[in-house]
C-alpha cells in the first residue's frame, strides 16, 4: 500500500533527532508568535495611548469601577459555584437512584447552550414579562449586577460540577471507607478526607469558573442593562462611544482596561496556583455530635433537595427558557421569514455560517499546532523547567478576559501588518483563546500514559512517530476529541474577542446586537428566541454527532 | 465481647451472587481467616461485616447487636485495607490518631493512645513522614496501628499482607497475630494465601463462589477435607479416579483406571459408585525394590525430579498412566533418579474418598 510506504518514510524521518526537534521547536515558535506574544506586545505598542487617558478622570473612574466589578463578581461567583457544585457532584456520583444519570446529562446542558443564547434566556426568565417575573408582577430581577451574577453563576456551574464529578469518580473510595471504619460519620469523612484529597480539583474548578466569569462578554452585555459595567462591557462601550468620535480615548481606555484586566487575572491565577496547594483544609478540628447530626437521612435529604432546587430553579430552567419563544416562533410567520432569510435573517444566517466555519477551522489548526506542544509539556521534551514554564504560559489565554486579549491582538496585528484581513484577525483571536483547551486536555491525557508503554513500543522497534501513531494516539484519542469539542464550543460561543478584533459578525454577536436593538421594536422577541433556538439546535446537533463518532468514555 | 455471627447472608451485585446464603460464627478473641481464590466472595463478606456494603438478605450480629442497619462508624471495628488506604494528605502520626480524634477524644488522650499503638507496632520513628515516603512494611504497620488506635475489639483485615515482599510478609503475619492475641481482639483475616492462613489462624473458612465450603482448624482442613476443592486448595493433593468395586468390614476397595485396585478405610460408599481418591504427596511411600509388592502398591516410573531445598519433588507415572506427585524430605530419604522404576504405596487410612463431582474433576478444583 502506498499509504503505508508514506507512513514508513515519515516514521523513519521521525527517528532523526533534527527532524523530531524541529517539529517541537516549530510548535513552540508558533505558540509564541501567534498566541503568546501578540497580545503582550499589542499593549506595549499602545503604552503611549494609555498614558494619554490616565489624566481623563471620568474615564479612569469608569474603567477602574468596571474592572473592580469584574473581579468581585468573578471571585464571588467562582466561590459560590464551588460551594453549590460540590453537593450536586456528590449526588451524581454517590446517589443510588437510576435517575442520576439523567441528572448527570442535564447538568451539562447549560454548558452546551452558547452563552449568548444563555444570556437571552436568563434575561427572558428573570426580568422580561412572560418569564418568572410574571408571577411576581413586573420584573423580578431587572438587568444589572444581580442578573450578571445570576448569569455567571449559571454558566460556570456545569464546569464546576463536571470537574468535581470527574475528581470524585477518580477518587479511591477506600480512603473514605477507612475514615468511616475509624469512626467518622459521612459528613466528617467527606470533609476531613475526601474533599482534602480532591482539593487540587476544587482549586481547578474555582479557577475555571473564575476564568469563565472574567472572560464572558456577549451574554453579560445582554443582561447588564444601561448602568452596570464590568471590564468587558466597559471595553465594548468605549468602542461604541469613542471609536468614531475620539479614537485616542478609545485606544487609550481599552488598552488601559485590557492591561489591568490581564495583569490582575495573571496575578490572581499566580496566587491561586502558588498558594492553593498550601491552603490547608480545616481538618484538625472535628465536632463529632454536630457533624453526626448533619450526616444522616434528614439532613442529607434537605441538602439534596436544596441542591436540586438550586439546579433546576437557577441553572437548568432559566438556561432553557429561551426554548419557549423559540417554539412559539415556529408556529408563527417568524419561521418562514427566518428560513427565507428575509430582513434581519439574511445577516443571521451569514453569521451562523461564519461561526461554524470559524469553529471548525480553529479546531483543526489547534490540533495541528497544539499536539506537539502537549507532548512537549507532558513528556518534558525540553527538560523539566522549560516544560513547567510552557505549561504555565499555555494557560494564560484561558484566564485572561477574551475581550482584553482581542483588544491587544488587534492593536498588534494592525500595527505590524496594516492590511491584515479581518477574517485572519478573527482566526488569530479565536486560535489564541481556544489554544489552552486542546493543549491541556492532550497533555493531561499523555501524562496519564505510562512511559513504560512508550519504551516498550520503542524496544519492539517502533520509531518515534510510530510510537505516537500506535500507542499515544489510540490511547488519547478520546481526550483529543474532547479537547477538540471544547475548542469548537468555545469558539462558537466567543463574543468578546470577536467584538474586539473585527467588525465581522458571528452568530453570538448578531444576537447581542438584536437584544440591544430590541428596544427599537425590531427584531421581535420571537425573532431573537428563534435565533437563539437555531444556534442552540445546531450546536447541539454538531455536539451530538461528534459524541456519536467518538462514542465511548470521552466526556467532552 | 465481640463474636461475629452471620445468618443466611446473601449479597448480589447485579446478576452476580457474591455471597450466597452464608452462615458463620466467629468466636470472641478468635483469630479467624476467610480463605479462597480471588472472586470467591471473601472480601465482600468482610466488607459486609464492616458495614461498607449492606446485605440483600440475612442478618449480621456483632456481639449481641444486629448491625444490618448500623453504619460502619458505629460498628466499633478496626479495618485494615489491602492498599492500606493511609490518608495521603496526613502524616503518619495524624493518620494514627485520626480514629481517636473523630471519635471526639481530647488531644491529650488521643496522643496517649497514639503512642501506645505505635509502641505496639514498634514504629516510633518517622512519624512526620507522609504515606508516600514510607516503605510497604512501614505503611502496613501504620495501617494496623491506625485500626488499633480506634479502640475497636474487632479487627478486620483485608489481605493485609498482599502488597508486601515475601520476606516482610512472613515476618509481619506473626506480628499481627501476636498483637491481636495480646489485645484480646477478635480478628477476621481475608487472604488467598493458604500458607498464610494455615500459619496464623485459629480457624479458617474456605470459600468458593460465594459459599463457605468448610470451616475448621488448619489441622482439620488439612487432615479431613470435606470436599475435593478443600483437599486441593489446602496443601496439595493427588487425585486418582476410579470406581468402588467392593465394600468390606475393613473399608472400601477401589478400582482405579487401568484395573489397579487399592484399599481405603472409608465405609460410606456404594458399590459401583464413581469416585475420586485424594492422596497427599507426602503420604506416598516410594520403594526401590520393585519385586516387593503389597497392599496399595502401584508400580511406576520416575518422570521428573525437582530439588526444592527442604524437599524433593518426584513426578511419577503410574502403571495405569496416571501422573502423581510425591514429596520427600531431601535430607532423610534416599534419592531416586529420572527413569527409575519404583513402587508407590500409601496407607489406606490416609487416603480421602470423594464422590466424583457432577461437573467433572477439573471444574470442581478450578478456582473460578
B348 touches chain A (CB under 8 A): no
Strand partners, B305: B314
B109 touches chain A (CB under 8 A): no
A181 touches chain B (CB under 8 A): yes
Containing B186, the helix (H) or strand (E) segment is strand B186-191
End-to-end CA distance of chain B: 36
Q: pLDDT tens across A160-175, in order?
A: 998 999 899 989 899 9
In angstroms, rounded to a whole number, what is the distance separating the alpha carbons of residues B156 and B47? Answer: 9
Query: Residue A230's domain spans which residues?
Result: 56-321
Distance to chain B for A249, nearest Cα, Å? 53
In angstroms, rounded to a whole number, what is the distance separating the alpha carbons of residues A317 and A126? Answer: 11
* Region of residue B186 (phi > 0: left; psi between -120 and 50: alpha; otherwise: beta): beta
CB contacts, 8 Å: B81 with chain A: 174, 177-178
Distance to chain B for A199, nearest Cα, Å? 10
Residue A311 DSSP one-character state:
I
Residue A473: its pLDDT value, please? 87
Within A95-144, where are the H helices?
Answer: 100-106, 109-112, 115-126, 133-136
Task: Decide if B98 and A179 are in contact by the 8 Å CB cutoff.
Answer: yes
Task: Please check whether residue B330 is in contact with residue B368, taking contact to mean a CB–CB distance below 8 angstroms.
Answer: no
The pLDDT of residue A415 is above 90:
no
Task: Please check whether residue A481 is in contact with residue A546, taking contact to mean a CB–CB distance below 8 angstroms.
Answer: yes
Task: Decide if A185 and B150 are in contact by the 8 Å CB cutoff.
Answer: no
Task: Decide if B71 and A174 are in contact by the 8 Å CB cutoff.
Answer: no
For residue B239, give Cα distances in angstroms to A109, B19, B225, B275. 63, 28, 13, 10
Task: Please check whether residue A457 is in contact with residue A466, taking contact to mean a CB–CB distance below 8 angstroms.
Answer: yes
Reduce the DSSP state of residue A461 to 3 states and report it.
Answer: coil
Show the cell assigned to A265: 487575572
Percentage of chain A beyond pLDDT 90 is 42
Q: pLDDT tens across A397-406, in order?
A: 888 899 999 9
Report yes or no on A80 lying in a domain. Answer: yes
Number of domains in chain A: 1
Q: Quick one: which of A400, A401, A416, A393 has its CA closest to A44?
A: A416
Distance to chain A for B146, nearest Cα, Å? 8
Within A341-421, where are the H helices?
Answer: 345-379, 384-399, 402-416
Mean pLDDT of chain A: 87
CB contacts, 8 Å: B99 with chain A: 182-183
**Is the ipTM beyond the 0.85 threshold?**
no
In total, the C-beta contacts within 8 angstroms joining chain A to chain B are 78
Domains in chain B: ranges and CATH: 4-232 (3.40.50.300), 236-365 (2.40.50.140)
Q: pLDDT tens across B265-318, in order?
A: 887 888 999 999 999 999 999 988 877 777 889 999 999 999 999 999 999 999
Chain centre to alpha carbon of residue A11:
36
- Please name the residue of chain B whose CA is at the shortest distance from the CA of residue A183: B73
Sole residue written with cell 440475612: B58
Task: Decide if B104 and A185 are in contact by the 8 Å CB cutoff.
Answer: no
Residue A555: its pLDDT value, please? 39
Residue B163: its pLDDT value, please? 82
Q: pLDDT tens across A362-371, in order?
A: 999 999 999 9
B81 touches chain A (CB under 8 A): yes
In CATH, what number is assigned to the domain containing residue A132? 1.10.3720.10
Residue A368: its pLDDT value, please? 93
For residue A240, give Cα distances in angstroms to A251, B13, B281. 12, 64, 95
Distance to chain B for A193, nearest Cα, Å? 7
What average pLDDT does the segment B93-100 reach?
92
Interface list for A 281-310 with B (CB within 8 A):
283, 286, 288-289
Task: Decide if A174 and B85 are in contact by the 8 Å CB cutoff.
Answer: yes
Show the cell assigned to B353: 474418598
Distance to chain B for A180, nearest Cα, Å? 5
Q: pLDDT tens across A79-100, in order?
A: 999 999 999 999 999 888 888 8
CB contacts, 8 Å: B110 with chain A: none
Distance to chain B for A280, nearest Cα, Å? 10
In angstroms, rounded to a whole number, what is the distance separating the alpha carbons of residues B204 and B191? Answer: 10
Report yes or no on A143 lying in a domain. Answer: yes
For residue A188, give Cα distances in angstroms to A88, A247, A289. 18, 59, 10
In angstroms, rounded to a whole number, what is the distance separating the alpha carbons of residues A291 and B264? Answer: 66
Reduce the DSSP state of residue B330 to 3 states and report it.
Answer: coil
Report yes or no on A541 lying in a domain. Answer: no
Residue A468 DSSP one-character state:
I
In a 10 Å sphere around its CB, with 0-12 CB exposed, 13-18 middle and 19+ buried, how is residue A274 labelled? Answer: exposed
Report yes or no on A415 lying in a domain. Answer: no
Task: Decide if B99 and A196 are in contact by the 8 Å CB cutoff.
Answer: no
Q: pLDDT tens across A139-195, in order?
A: 677 788 999 999 999 999 998 998 999 899 989 899 999 999 998 988 889 989 999
Task: Please check whether residue B100 is in contact with residue B150, taking contact to mean a CB–CB distance below 8 angstroms.
Answer: yes
The pLDDT of residue A2 is above 60:
no
B34 touches chain A (CB under 8 A): no
The pLDDT of residue B152 is above 90:
no
Report yes or no on A448 lying in a domain. Answer: no
Task: Decide if B147 and A181 are in contact by the 8 Å CB cutoff.
Answer: yes
Q: Which residues contact A132 (CB under 8 A, 6 or more apart)?
A: A125, A126, A140
What average pLDDT does the segment B219-245 reach?
94
Task: Decide if A286 and B101 are in contact by the 8 Å CB cutoff.
Answer: yes
What average pLDDT does the segment A325-346 reach?
87
Reduce the DSSP state of residue B46 to 3 states and report it.
Answer: helix
Distance to chain B for A96, nearest Cα, Å? 13
Residue A338: its pLDDT value, please? 85
Residue B121: its pLDDT value, please? 85
Report yes or no on A489 lying in a domain. Answer: no
Strand partners, B256: B242
Residue A137: its pLDDT value, please? 65
For residue B216, give Cα distances in angstroms to B22, B201, B222, B231. 15, 10, 9, 13
A9 touches chain B (CB under 8 A): no
Q: pLDDT tens across B60-86, in order?
A: 999 999 999 999 989 999 999 999 999
The pLDDT of residue A138 is above 80:
no
Task: Please check whether residue A175 is in contact with residue A193, taking contact to mean a CB–CB distance below 8 angstroms.
Answer: yes
Report yes or no on A538 lying in a domain. Answer: no
Burial B256-274 (b: 16+ CB within 10 A, else e): beeebebbbebeebeeebe
The pLDDT of residue A553 is above 60:
no
Report yes or no on A175 lying in a domain. Answer: yes
Confidence band, pLDDT 50/70/90 cuts, at residue A556: very low
* Region of residue A469 (phi > 0: left; psi between -120 and 50: alpha; otherwise: beta): alpha
The pLDDT of residue A9 is above 60:
yes
Identify which has the larger pLDDT, B337 or B1.
B337
The pLDDT of residue A442 is above 50:
yes
- Please name the residue of chain A whose CA is at the shortest distance from the CA of residue B151: A182
- Please name the residue of chain B whose CA is at the shortest distance from the CA of residue A281: B89
Nearest to A197 among B75, B89, B99 (CB): B89
In angstroms, rounded to a whole number, what is the distance separating the alpha carbons of residues B239 and A74? Answer: 74
Task: Decide if B85 and A183 are in contact by the 8 Å CB cutoff.
Answer: no
Mean pLDDT of chain B: 91
The pLDDT of residue A523 is above 80:
no
Amino acid at each position: 500500500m502506498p499509504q503505508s510506504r508514506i507512513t514508513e518514510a515519515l516514521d523513519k524521518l521521525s527517528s532523526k533527532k533534527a527532524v523530531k526537534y524541529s517539529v517541537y521547536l516549530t510548535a513552540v515558535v508558533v505558540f509564541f508568535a501567534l498566541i503568546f506574544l501578540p497580545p503582550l506586545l499589542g499593549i506595549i505598542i499602545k503604552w503611549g495611548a494609555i498614558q494619554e487617558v490616565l489624566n481623563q478622570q471620568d474615564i479612569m473612574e469608569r474603567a477602574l469601577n468596571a474592572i473592580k466589578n469584574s473581579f468581585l463578581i468573578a471571585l464571588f461567583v467562582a466561590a459560590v459555584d464551588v460551594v453549590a457544585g460540590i453537593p450536586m457532584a456528590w449526588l451524581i456520583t454517590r446517589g443510588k437512584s437510576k435517575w442520576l444519570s439523567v441528572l448527570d446529562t442535564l447538568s451539562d446542558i447549560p454548558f452546551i447552550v452558547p452563552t449568548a443564547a444563555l444570556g437571552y434566556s436568563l434575561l427572558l426568565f428573570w426580568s422580561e414579562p412572560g418569564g418568572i417575573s410574571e408571577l411576581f408582577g413586573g420584573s423580578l430581577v431587572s438587568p444589572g449586577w444581580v442578573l450578571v451574577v445570576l448569569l455567571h453563576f449559571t454558566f460556570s456551574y456545569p464546569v464546576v460540577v463536571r470537574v468535581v464529578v470527574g475528581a470524585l469518580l477518580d477518587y479511591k473510595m477506600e480512603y473514605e471507607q477507612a475514615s468511616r471504619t475509624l469512626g467518622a460519620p459521612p459528613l466528617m469523612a467527606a470533609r476531613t478526607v475526601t474533599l482534602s484529597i480532591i482539593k487540587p480539583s476544587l482549586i481547578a474548578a474555582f479557577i475555571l469558573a473564575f476564568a469563565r466569569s472574567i472572560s464572558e462578554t456577549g451574554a453579560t452585555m445582554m443582561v447588564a442593562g444601561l448602568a452596570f459595567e464590568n471590564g468587558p462591557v466597559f471595553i465594548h462601550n468605549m468602542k461604541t462611544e469613542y471609536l468614531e468620535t475620539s479614537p485616542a480615548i478609545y485606544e487609550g481606555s481599552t488598552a488601559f482596561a485590557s492591561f489591568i484586566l490581564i495583569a490582575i487575572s495573571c496575578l490572581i491565577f499566580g496566587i491561586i496556583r502558588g498558594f492553593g496547594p498550601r491552603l490547608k483544609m480545616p481538618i484538625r478540628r472535628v465536632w463529632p455530635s454536630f457533624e453526626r447530626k448533619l450526616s444522616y437521612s434528614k439532613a442529607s435529604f434537605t441538602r439534596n433537595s436544596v441542591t436540586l432546587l438550586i439546579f433546576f430553579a437557577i441553572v437548568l430552567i432559566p438556561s432553557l427558557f429561551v426554548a419557549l419563544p423559540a417554539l412559539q416562533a415556529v408556529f408563527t410567520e417568524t419561521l418562514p421569514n427566518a428560513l427565507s432569510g428575509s430582513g434581519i435573517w439574511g445577516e443571521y444566517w451569514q453569521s451562523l455560517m461564519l461561526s461554524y466555519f470559524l469553529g471548525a477551522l480553529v479546531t483543526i489548526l489547534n490540533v495541528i499546532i497544539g499536539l506537539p506542544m502537549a507532548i512537549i509539556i507532558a513528556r518534558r521534551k525540553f527538560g523539566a523547567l522549560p516544560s513547567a514554564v510552557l505549561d504555565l504560559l499555555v494557560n494564560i489565554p484561558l484566564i485572561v478576559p477574551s475581550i482584553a486579549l482581542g483588544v491587544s491582538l488587534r492593536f498588534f496585528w494592525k500595527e505590524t501588518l496594516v492590511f491584515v484581513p479581518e477574517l485572519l484577525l478573527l482566526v488569530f483571536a479565536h486560535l489564541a483563546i481556544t489554544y489552552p483547551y486542546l493543549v491541556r486536555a492532550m497533555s493531561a491525557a499523555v501524562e496519564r500514559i505510562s512511559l513504560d508503554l512508550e519504551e516498550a513500543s520503542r524496544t519492539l522497534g517502533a520509531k518515534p512517530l510510530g510510537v505516537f501513531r500506535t500507542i499515544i494516539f489510540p490511547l488519547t484519542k478520546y481526550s483529543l476529541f474532547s479537547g477538540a469539542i471544547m475548542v469548537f464550543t468555545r469558539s462558537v460561543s466567543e463574543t468578546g474577542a470577536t467584538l474586539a478584533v473585527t467588525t465581522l459578525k458571528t452568530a453570538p454577536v448578531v444576537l447581542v446586537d438584536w437584544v440591544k436593538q430590541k428596544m427599537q421594536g425590531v427584531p421581535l422577541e420571537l425573532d431573537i428566541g428563534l435565533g437563539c433556538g437555531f444556534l442552540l439546535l445546531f450546536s447541539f446537533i454538531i455536539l451530538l454527532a461528534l459524541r456519536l463518532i467518538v462514542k465511548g468514555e470521552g466526556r467532552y | 465481647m465481640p463474636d461475629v455471627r452471620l445468618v443466611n447472608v446473601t449479597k448480589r451485585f447485579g446478576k452476580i451472587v457474591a455471597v450466597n446464603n452464608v452462615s458463620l460464627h466467629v468466636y470472641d478473641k478468635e483469630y479467624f481467616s476467610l480463605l479462597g481464590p480471588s472472586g470467591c466472595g471473601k472480601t465482600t463478606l468482610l466488607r459486609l461485616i464492616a458495614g461498607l456494603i449492606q446485605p440483600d438478605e440475612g442478618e449480621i450480629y456483632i456481639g449481641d447487636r444486629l448491625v444490618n442497619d448500623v453504619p460502619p462508624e458505629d460498628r466499633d471495628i478496626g479495618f485494615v485495607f489491602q492498599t492500606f488506604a493511609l490518608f495521603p494528605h496526613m502524616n503518619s502520626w495524624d493518620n494514627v490518631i485520626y480514629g481517636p480524634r473523630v471519635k471526639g477524644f481530647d488531644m491529650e488522650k488521643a496522643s496517649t493512645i497514639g503512642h501506645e499503638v505505635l509502641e505496639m507496632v514498634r514504629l516510633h520513628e518517622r512519624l512526620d513522614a507522609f504515606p508516600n515516603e514510607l516503605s510497604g512494611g512501614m505503611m502496613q504497620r501504620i495501617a494496623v496501628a491506625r485500626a488499633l488506635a480506634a479502640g475497636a475489639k474487632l479487627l478486620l483485615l483485608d489481605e493485609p499482607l498482599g502488597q508486601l515482599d515475601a520476606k516482610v510478609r512472613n515476618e509481619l503475619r506473626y506480628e499481627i497475630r501476636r498483637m491481636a492475641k495480646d489485645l484480646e481482639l477478635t480478628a477476621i483475616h481475608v487472604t488467598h494465601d493458604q500458607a498464610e492462613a494455615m500459619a496464623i489462624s485459629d480457624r479458617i473458612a474456605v470459600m468458593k463462589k460465594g459459599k463457605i465450603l468448610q470451616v475448621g482448624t488448619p489441622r482439620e482442613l488439612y487432615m479431613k477435607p470435606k470436599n475435593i476443592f478443600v483437599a486441593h486448595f489446602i496443601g496439595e493433593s493427588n487425585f486418582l479416579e476410579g470406581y468402588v468395586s467392593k465394600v468390606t468390614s475393613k473399608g472400601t476397595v477401589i478400582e482405579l483406571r487401568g484395573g489397579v485396585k487399592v484399599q481405603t478405610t472409608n465405609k460410606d460408599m456404594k458399590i459401583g459408585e464413581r469416585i475420586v481418591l485424594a492422596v497427599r504427596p507426602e503420604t506416598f511411600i516410594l520403594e526401590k525394590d520393585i519385586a516387593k509388592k503389597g497392599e496399595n502398591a502401584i508400580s511406576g516410573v520416575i518422570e521428573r525430579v525437582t530439588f526444592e531445598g527442604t524437599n524433593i519433588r518426584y513426578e511419577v507415572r503410574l502403571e495405569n498412566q496416571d501422573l502423581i506427585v510425591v514429596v520427600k524430605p531431601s535430607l532423610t530419604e534416599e534419592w531416586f533418579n529420572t527413569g527409575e522404576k519404583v513402587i508407590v504405596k500409601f496407607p489406606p487410612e490416609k487416603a480421602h474418598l470423594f464422590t466424583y463431582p457432577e461437573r467433572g474433576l477439573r471444574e470442581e478444583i478450578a478456582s473460578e
